[in-house]
Amino acid sequence: MIIWWSILIILAVIVLSWTGHHLWLIHWQHQQQLIVDQQINQAIQVWAAKLPQLTAQTLRSEVPVSIWHRDVLVFEYQVQLASSEKITLTIGEFERYLRASVDLPAEIIVTEYWQLKDTFHFDVAYLRNHATANYVHDMARISHDEAQTKTPTAHPNWQTPTSKSHHPNE
């Protein structure tokens, strides 16, 4: 009987530890998202003067559903446009602008962007931890493999990061 109670207690400790760690990761990811959101919002506010088509006050972000790992720091941003006129900005130009406009402890990469009618979407990877760097590296490898087979599904701006990890547990 004591063995069963011991097993039950051990299982309870494991479940509680896993749940606590999972909740901590969600909280940490949300904190990082708020930090990046603040910087991106300031950058877009300034840039709206150069690109009046952007309705900067409509900027919003979320963690894409496709992110399977809780400590991957990739955020999808959306901003309404004043019209559905096509934005002629390249992803490289947009990424250079954002990188120059933000003051973050780790590098950001614009992994993809697109315009859907009067909404401009862009994904930003915040290279603050190994999980995000690994995710970007994996997407770069997929993009490279697709380029070899001419079967595109990933954006060509995926690249291997050079940033150091700043995750509290790494």
* pLDDT class of 146 with cuts at 50, 70, 90: low
User: Where in the chain are the domains?
Assistant: 2-149
At 100-142, the pLDDT tens digits run 989 998 999 998 899 998 999 999 999 999 989 988 888 888 8
Bridge partners (DSSP) of residue 120 are 79, 115
CA distance 133 to 125: 8
Mean pLDDT for the stretch of residues 135-162: 64
CA distance 85 to 29: 34
Residue 108 has what pLDDT?
Answer: 92
At 49-93, the pLDDT tens digits run 778 888 888 899 988 766 656 688 999 999 999 888 888 888 888
Residue 150 has what pLDDT?
Answer: 59
